[in-house]
C-alpha cells in the first residue's frame, strides 16, 4: 500500500471519529485539570460541554448514508450517529447526576469524570465497530474504566466486592470473547464483519464454535442469563448514578455491536434458536428473581436482566423490523433506567452499614419529594410497559416483529413475564406514595439525609420523564428512522 496515500485517507476520515476525539481530549484535559489545579469544580462541566458538542455533531449527521472509515474498521452514518447519541446522552445525564451524589458521599474525585469520558469513548467505538478488532478494543476500553468506577467507594465492603467480582468475571468473559474472535478469524481469514458473511466455509465447526464463544462474551456484557450472576452484586455495590450508566450506555453499545455482527456477519439463521433460548431464560430469571428483592438497586438490576431478555427476543427474530425495534427499545430503555437510577441516587443516604437502599425505608417519600416521586412513577409505569408511555411502544416494537417471524411462543412468555414485572415495579410506586412513613419502622429509624438535588438534577430527571411520555406518543418517526438504517445497510450489503 502506498503509505502517503494511507495517511491522507486517514486525515479525510477524521470526521468519522469526531465524537470520540472530542470526548478523549476532554478526558485528557480533565486529568490535567485534576492534577495541576486545586480547583476540581469545573471538571464535570468540561465533560458535559464536550459531550454536548459531540451530541450536536451526531444530531447533524443523523441522516448521513451508511459507510465505513479508517480502512473499514469503523462504521459511519445514521446507525452510528443514533447509537452514539444514546451513549453520549447517557454520559451527560450520568455526569449531571453524579455531581451532587459524589459530593454527598464525599468521593468527588475529578478522575471519576475522566473515567466516565474514557468509558464513553470505548462505547462509541463498540457501537460503531465494523471489524472484530474494533469491537474488542472498544469493549475493553469501556470495561476497564467501568471496573474502576465500580470500586469507587473503596472503604465500603460492598463496593470493593462488586468491583472484584466484576473485574474477575469480566476478565474471564473477555477470554471467551477473544478466543471466539480468534476462531472466527481462523475459519474465515477476515476480521471485517461484511466480508465474513461470504467467507464462512460450509460446515465449519471451527467457525460456529468461535461464534458461540463470541456470543458468550457479548451475553455476559449485556447480562443475559445464564451469564447474569454478576449483575445484582455489581449494580448494588457501584455508586448509583454510575450503575445507571453501566446498565444503559454499556448495554446499548454492546447490543448495537451485537446487532451489527448478526446483521452483517451472520445473516445465516442458525443462531436464532440459541438466542431464543437465551432470551427465554433471561426473561424468566430476571423477572422472577426481581419479585423477591427488598433492595431497590438489586430489583433494578434484575429488571435490567429482564429487559436484556426483551431485546434478545428481537435479535432472535432476526428481521430488519426486529433490529429496528431493538434499536428503538435501547433508546427507551436507556431513558427509563437512567431516570430510575437517578431518582434512587437522590433518595439514598449514608446509613450505618454502607448505603441504604431498601424500599421500605422510602415509605411515603413521594409526599416529601413530589417531583422525584412523580418521575419515579413515570419510570416504573414505563418499565412495566403501560400504554401511553415509551416503554409500551418499545416493547411493542420488539415483540411485534418477533410474532411476524414466527416466535409467538417466545413473545407469549415475554408478555406473561411483563405481567409479573408489574408487581415489583408498581410496588415501588405504592411504597413511594401510599405507604405511611409513621407505620414503617425502617423509615423511622433512618436519618433520611438525602442528596441535595439541585436544579440541574431535577431538570434532568424531569426531562427523562417527559421524554418517555413524548416518545410514547410520537414514536412512528423514530421507528421509521431506525428501520431506515437497516434498509440502507441491506442495499449496501447486496450490491
**Contact (CB, 8 A) for 157 and 354:** yes
Rounded CA gap, 10 and 4, in Å? Answer: 10
Residue of 14, 28, 56, 491 interacting with another protein (CB under 8 A):
28
Residue of 7, 409, 423, 452 interacting with another protein (CB under 8 A):
7
Please identify, using beta-carbon distances, which residue of 21 and 319 lies nearer to another protein: 21
Residue of 17, 31, 119, 428 interacting with another protein (CB under 8 A):
31
171 sits near another protein (criterion: CB under 8 A): no
* CA-closest candidate to residue 18, choices 40, 66, 44, 50: 50
Please identify, using beta-carbon distances, which residue of 3 and 455 lies nearer to another protein: 3
- CB 35 to another protein: min, Å: 4
10 sits near another protein (criterion: CB under 8 A): yes
Size of residue set near another protein by CB under 8 A = 14
- CB 197 to another protein: min, Å: 22
Please identify, using beta-carbon distances, which residue of 19 and 304 lies nearer to another protein: 19
The footprint of another protein on residues 34-53 (CB under 8 A) is 34-36
Please identify, using beta-carbon distances, which residue of 36 and 455 lies nearer to another protein: 36
Rounded CA gap, 149 and 45, in Å? Answer: 19
Q: Which residues contact 155 (CB under 8 A, 6 or more apart)?
A: none
Q: Which residues contact 102 (CB under 8 A, 6 or more apart)?
A: 108, 109, 112, 239
DSSP 386: -
Q: What does the buried/exposed string (b/e) look like for 96-108 if buried means 16 or more CB atoms within 10 Å of the residue's CB?
A: bbbbbbbebbebb
Please identify, using beta-carbon distances, which residue of 35 and 494 lies nearer to another protein: 35
Beta-bridge mates of residue 67 = 76
Please identify, using beta-carbon distances, which residue of 147 and 227 lies nearer to another protein: 147
2 sits near another protein (criterion: CB under 8 A): yes
DSSP string, 365-381: HHHHSHHHHHHHHHHHH
Rounded CA gap, 384 and 258, in Å? Answer: 25
412 sits near another protein (criterion: CB under 8 A): no
- CB 5 to another protein: min, Å: 9
Dihedral Cα 484, 486, 487, 488, nearest 10 deg: 90
Of the candidate spans 4-12, 126-134, 139-147, 310-318, the one that interacts with another protein by CB under 8 A turns out to be 4-12
Number of residues assigned to the chain:
495
Residue 100 CA to its chain's centroid (Å):
22
Of the candidate spans 31-39, 252-260, 356-364, 477-485, the one that interacts with another protein by CB under 8 A turns out to be 31-39
172 sits near another protein (criterion: CB under 8 A): no
* CA-closest candidate to residue 327, choices 222, 223, 467, 481: 481
Q: Which residues contact 119 (CB under 8 A, 6 or more apart)?
A: 141, 142, 145, 146, 149, 245, 249, 250
Question: CA triplet 217, 140, 184: central angle to 5 degrees?
Answer: 45
Of the candidate spans 25-33, 73-81, 189-197, 276-284, the one that interacts with another protein by CB under 8 A turns out to be 25-33
- CB 34 to another protein: min, Å: 7
Residue of 14, 32, 419, 473 interacting with another protein (CB under 8 A):
32
- CB 7 to another protein: min, Å: 3
Please identify, using beta-carbon distances, which residue of 25 and 291 lies nearer to another protein: 25
Of the candidate spans 2-10, 91-99, 260-268, 463-471, the one that interacts with another protein by CB under 8 A turns out to be 2-10
**Contact (CB, 8 A) for 209 and 201:** no
Of the candidate spans 33-41, 44-52, 266-274, 344-352, the one that interacts with another protein by CB under 8 A turns out to be 33-41
Residues in touch with another protein (CB under 8 A): 2-4, 6-8, 10-11, 28, 31-32, 34-36
Amino acid at each position: 500500500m502506498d503509505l502517503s496515500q494511507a495517511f491522507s485517507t486517514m486525515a479525510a476520515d477524521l470526521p468519522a471519529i469526531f465524537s470520540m476525539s472530542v470526548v478523549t481530549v476532554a478526558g485528557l484535559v480533565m486529568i490535567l485539570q485534576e492534577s495541576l489545579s486545586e480547583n476540581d469544580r469545573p471538571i464535570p462541566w468540561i465533560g458535559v460541554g464536550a459531550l454536548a458538542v459531540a451530541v450536536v455533531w451526531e444530531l447533524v449527521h443523523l441522516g448521513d448514508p451508511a459507510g465505513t472509515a479508517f480502512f473499514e474498521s469503523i462504521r459511519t452514518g445514521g446507525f452510528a450517529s443514533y447509537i452514539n447519541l444514546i451513549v453520549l446522552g447517557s454520559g451527560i445525564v450520568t455526569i449531571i447526576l453524579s455531581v451532587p451524589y459524589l459530593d454527598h458521599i464525599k468521593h468527588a474525585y475529578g478522575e471519576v469524570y475522566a473515567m466516565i469520558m474514557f468509558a464513553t469513548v470505548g462505547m462509541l467505538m463498540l457501537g460503531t465497530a465494523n471489524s472484530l478488532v474494533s469491537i474488542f478494543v472498544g469493549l475493553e476500553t469501556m470495561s476497564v474504566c467501568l471496573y474502576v468506577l465500580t470500586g469507587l467507594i473503596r472503604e465500603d465492603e460492598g463496593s470493593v466486592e462488586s468491583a472484584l467480582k466484576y473485574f474477575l468475571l469480566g476478565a474471564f468473559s473477555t477470554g471467551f470473547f477473544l478466543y471466539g474472535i480468534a476462531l472466527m478469524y481462523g475459519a474465515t481469514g477476515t476480521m471485517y464483519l461484511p466480508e465474513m458473511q461470504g467467507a464462512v466455509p460450509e460446515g465449519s465447526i471451527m467457525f460456529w464454535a468461535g461464534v458461540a464463544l463470541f456470543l458468550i462474551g457479548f451475553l455476559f456484557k449485556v447480562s443475559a442469563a445464564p451469564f447474569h450472576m454478576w449483575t445484582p452484586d455489581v449494580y448494588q455495590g457501584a455508586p448509583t448514578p454510575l450503575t445507571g450508566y453501566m446498565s444503559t450506555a454499556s448495554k446499548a453499545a454492546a447490543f448495537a455491536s451485537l446487532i451489527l455482527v448478526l446483521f452483517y456477519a451472520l445473516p445465516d439463521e442458525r443462531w436464532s434458536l440459541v438466542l431464543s433460548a437465551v432470551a427465554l431464560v433471561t426473561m424468566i430469571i430476571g423477572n422472577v428473581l426481581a419479585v423477591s428483592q427488598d433492595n431497590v438497586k438489586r430489583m433494578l438490576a434484575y429488571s435490567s436482566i429482564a429487559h436484556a431478555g426483551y431485546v434478545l427476543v428481537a435479535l432472535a427474530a432476526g428481521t430488519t423490523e426486529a433490529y429496528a425495534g431493538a434499536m428503538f427499545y435501547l433508546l427507551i430503555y436507556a431513558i427509563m433506567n437512567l431516570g430510575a437510577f437517578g431518582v434512587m441516587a437522590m433518595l439514598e443516604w449514608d446509613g450505618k452499614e454502607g448505603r441504604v437502599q431498601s424500599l421500605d425505608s422510602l415509605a411515603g417519600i413521594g409526599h416529601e419529594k413530589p417531583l422525584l416521586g412523580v418521575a419515579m412513577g413515570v419510570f416504573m409505569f414505563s418499565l412495566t410497559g403501560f400504554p401511553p408511555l415509551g416503554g409500551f411502544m418499545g416493547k411493542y416494537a420488539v415483540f411485534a416483529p418477533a410474532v411476524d417471524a414466527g416466535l409467538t411462543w417466545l413473545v407469549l412468555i415475554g408478555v406473561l413475564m411483563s405481567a409479573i414485572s408489574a408487581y415489583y415495579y408498581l410496588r415501588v410506586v405504592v411504597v413511594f406514595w401510599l405507604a405511611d412513613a409513621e407505620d414503617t419502622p425502617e423509615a423511622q429509624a433512618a436519618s433520611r439525609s438525602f442528596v441535595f438535588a439541585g436544579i440541574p438534577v431535577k431538570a434532568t430527571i424531569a426531562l427523562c420523564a417527559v421524554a418517555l411520555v413524548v416518545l410514547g406518543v410520537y414514536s412512528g418517526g423514530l421507528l421509521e428512522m431506525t428501520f431506515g438504517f437497516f434498509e440502507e445497510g441491506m442495499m449496501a450489503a447486496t450490491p
